[in-house]
Amino acid sequence: MQKRYVLALDQGTTSSRAVIFDSLSGNIAGIKNLPLQQFYPRPGWVEHDADDIFRDQMSAINGAIKMAGINTESIACIGITNQRETVVVWDRNTGKPVHRAIVWQCRRSSEICDSLKTAGLRDKIKSKTGLVIDAYFSGTKIKWILDHVEGAREKAQRGELLAGTIDSWLIWNLTGGRKHITDYSNASRTMLYNINDLKWDDELLGELGIPACMLPEVVSSSGVCAYTHEKILGERIPISGIAGDQHASLFGQACFKRGDAKNTYGTGCFILMNTGKTPVVSKNNLITTIAWGIDSEVEYALEGSVFNAGAAIQWLKDELGIIKTAHESDIEAKKVPDTGGVYVVPAFTGLGAPYWDMYARGTILGLTRGTNKRHIIRATLESIAYQCRDVLEAMKLDSGIELNALKVDGGVSASNFLMQFQADVLNISVQRPVIRETTALGSAFLAGLGVGIWTSKEEIEQAWNLDKAYMPGENKKYYDSLYLRWKKAVEKSMKWDI
């Protein structure tokens, strides 16, 4: 059988997914998704079992292959995309993690971040990495593990421990321990990588006490960088695409021109704007990041991260129990004309861009005797749109670019209510593509580009197809007034947990 299929591994915060794309038709031939268990050992702490991640990812691969009705011999290449700042530290010799994976949402290293700020490193870290000092990023998580796992620091100094984001962990296991690598996009999320010099920064490693020998080799986001071990998938398949999930989504949405922007509505919301081959230093609390690196040439992006989007809907379902499915939130929200003045600020794990308040906490304001569950459901959905406007307002100031459209994807983009409200509150067109698995699609494009299945970005751009465009209403002043009250609600939630 012709090697026409591309296998994309999409390892996310709440699930491990495998998607098989038919490069001839552009369609999904097979897909398998498995839920990933979360662990919350203390308030504000979030963990995953790294062994579960690899085991589930392998099950997803087998399920997708079965659904596609193919075998591994017909897979041309593999692309990997992953939840980015989640980090694993494991033993080089045994391959066993020394601690559960610490998830990007986890706030346990907030005190380490505070000490870096007190030491006056805020500007230095921003200029070298493009990032703000926050527990969100991987570097302080690695330090926490070395500080708190007995004997870990000593083993690390002897070169016996490895550290990496989930892409590195998957590749290590897929190659039978032969390759410890990551790509430019994932490296740029660690707070340890110099995005100007394109190398791990010795000064920052020293500040955090992290031995350089723990860290992976940084490779291009597209191009053959490893092969699977024959014992793992039965074939020696090239791994030719790697990108953090939001970078892969930017690629999958064909945001190849300066000023192109997309928003992924997943567990969190992640808005990225392509800024081309020159990094734009944010003056409005956004992140400067590497979008991808191809043929040793990198492109940059501005990013704003909203920590709780789909997670807020999950909270309505799992913790409050006022909806049974995510889709039900759409139905219930439409049963009331507005929120009745209620605002939900879902700062369950702090606030991301542009506030960066690690100590903000979830808040519900404007409750009256007439408030019912539908108002709270609607206010929760609307909060997602407001948070995205917060980021885009900052993005316009930094880039000087006035957006006229926003490409959207992710599970929550299926909400017609939210997408229309997003268009209204932004006063721009919101565009949803036919294939919403853009994160997996982006990693497949990168992988296929790396082995010559697709020959150029222009060819990939022609494969992007619009499903639906949501156009803003005419009552801009009304939505602006709602947004002003949102800003007031956010102020009430900040610096709560100190």
pLDDT value, residue 412: 92
| Identity of the amino acid at 309 | A
What residues are paired with 379 via a beta bridge?
none
Using alpha carbons, list the distances in angstroms from residue 101 to 50, 88, 128, 326.
Answer: 6, 5, 26, 27
pTM: predicted TM-score of the whole model, two decimal places: 0.87
pLDDT tens by residue, 305-314: 898 999 999 9
pLDDT bracket for residue 437 (50, 70, 90): confident
How confident is the model over 168-183, as a mean pLDDT?
97
Assigned superfamily of 254-497: ATPase, nucleotide binding domain (3.30.420.40)
Residue 118 counted as an annotated binding residue: no
Alpha-carbon dihedral 434, 438, 440, 445, rounded to 10 degrees: 90
Q: Rounded mean pLDDT of 175-203?
A: 96
The pLDDT, as a whole number, for residue 97 is 98
Indicate the CATH number of 5-219 among 3.30.300.180, 1.10.1200.10, 1.10.1370.40, 3.30.420.40: 3.30.420.40
Express as a percent the part of the chain with pLDDT over 70.
Answer: 100
Query: Shortest CA distance to 233 belongs to which of 70, 71, 95?
Result: 71
Mean pLDDT of 475-483: 96
Show me where the domains of the chain are located. 5-219, 254-497
Flag whether 352 is marked binding.
no
**Residues near 303 by beta carbon (within 8 Å), at least 6 away in sequence:** 246, 270, 271, 272, 273, 286, 287, 288, 289, 353
- Three-state secondary-structure class, residue 262: strand
15 is in an annotated binding site: yes
pLDDT at 210: 97
- What is the mean pLDDT of the segment spanning 476-487? 97
| Percentage above 90 pLDDT, the chain | 84
Residue 206 among known ligand-binding residues = no
* Average pLDDT of span 477-484: 97
What integer pLDDT is reported at residue 191 of this predicted model? 97
Rounded to whole angstroms, the Cα distance separating 108 from 115 reads 13
Q: Per-residue confidence at 352, pLDDT binned at 50, 70, 90?
A: confident
126 pLDDT exceeds 70?
yes
Q: Could you give the C-alpha distances from 42 to 39, 106, 150, in angstroms and in order?
A: 9, 10, 20
Is 193 labelled as part of a ligand binding site?
A: no
User: pLDDT per residue over 4-60, tens digit each?
Assistant: 899 999 999 889 999 999 988 888 999 999 999 999 999 889 999 999 999 999 999
Is 325 annotated to bind ligand? no
Task: At 110, list the tokens.
Answer: 């907030």
Would the annotation count 235 as a binding residue?
A: no
- The domains spanning 5-219 and 254-497 adopt the same CATH topology: yes
Checking phi first, is residue 209 left (phi over 0); if not, alpha (psi -120 to 50) or beta? left
Reduce the DSSP state of residue 233 to 3 states and report it.
Answer: helix
Residue 102 has a pLDDT of 97
- The per-residue pLDDT for 100 is 97
The verdict on whether residue 57 carries a ligand-binding annotation is: no
Mean pLDDT of 197-216: 96
With 90 as the cut, is the pLDDT of residue 360 above it? yes
What one-character DSSP code corresponds to residue 316? I
Tens of pLDDT, residues 278-288: 899 888 889 89
Annotated binding residue 136: yes
> Which tens digits make up the pLDDT trace of 330-348?
999 999 999 999 999 999 9
Over 70: is that where the pLDDT of 1 sits?
A: no
Predicted local distance difference test score (pLDDT) of residue 356: 84
414-434: average pLDDT: 96
The model's confidence at residue 174, banded by pLDDT at 50, 70 and 90, is: very high
Helix (DSSP H) and strand (DSSP E) numbers for the chain: 17, 23
Specify the pLDDT at position 176: 96
85 is in an annotated binding site: yes
Residue 24, pLDDT score: 85
Which of 18-50 are b and which e, b meaning 16 or more Cβ less than 10 Å from the residue's Cβ?
Answer: bbbbebeeeebbbbbbbebeeeeeeebbbbbbb
Task: Establish whether 278 is an annotated binding residue.
Answer: no
Q: Would you say 275 is a known binding-site residue?
A: no
The average confidence (pLDDT) of the chain is 94
Q: Is 38 annotated as a binding residue?
A: no
